[in-house]
Amino acid sequence: MHPFRKAVENRDEAAIEALLADDVVFTSPVAFKPYPGKAITAAILRGVMRVFEDFAYEREIANPDGRDHAFVFTATVDGKRIQGCDFLHFDEDGRIDDFTVMVRPLSAAQALAAAMGAQFDRIAREAAGAAQAADTPAATEAADTAEAAGA
């Protein structure tokens, strides 16, 4: 089993965060602009773990060099069954530097948007706290991005 999948299925937030590159870019299925940086990405993923119920990876697809993976999942959000896919790219150090999520159907994506919107103040606070603790340019950018997102 891939270490990312194992970390998510074990709900191991520290292991998930350890797999993120400092300059990771997270592209949400429900937000227009991507979120750059480890602090905001880790905070978003913690928020997702709070709103997803019955989460399970159904399938894992990888290219031969192991740097690109697709993890197909199902979950429930506010009573809506959601199907999605995490598309991950790994840098030369084995850390995730690109994380894109797509989901369907529209009604479930809308439920996800509403549930994550309700989480976003907390997500922004967590990202800002991590940015202050890390005191790196990428972390500062993540905190600024979270603030600009209206959180």
- Rounded distance between C-alpha atoms, residue 79 and residue 108, angstroms: 9
Structure tokens at 72: 């197909």
Please state the rounded mean pLDDT for residues 57-62. Answer: 96
What average pLDDT does the chain have?
Answer: 90
Please state the rounded mean pLDDT for residues 36-61. Answer: 96
**Residue 36: strand, helix, or coil:** strand
Q: Which residues contact 71 (CB under 8 A, 6 or more apart)?
A: 2, 4, 5, 8, 57, 59, 60, 61, 85, 86, 88
Which pLDDT belongs to residue 150?
A: 44
Alpha-helical segments (H) within 30-136: 38-51, 106-134
Residues 11-45: pLDDT tens digits? 999 999 999 999 999 999 998 899 999 999 999 99
**CA nearest neighbour of 7 among 32, 42, 35:** 42
DSSP state, residue 78: T
Q: Which residues contact 8 (CB under 8 A, 6 or more apart)?
A: 16, 55, 57, 71
For 31, list phi and psi in degrees, rounded to 5. Answer: -115, 145
pLDDT classification of 135: cutoffs 50, 70, 90: low
Is the CB of residue 16 less than 8 Å from the CB of residue 7? yes
Provide the strand spans (E) within the chain. Answer: 20-27, 35-36, 53-62, 68-77, 80-90, 96-104
CA distances in angstroms from 50 to 21, 33, 55, listed in the order given: 22, 22, 11
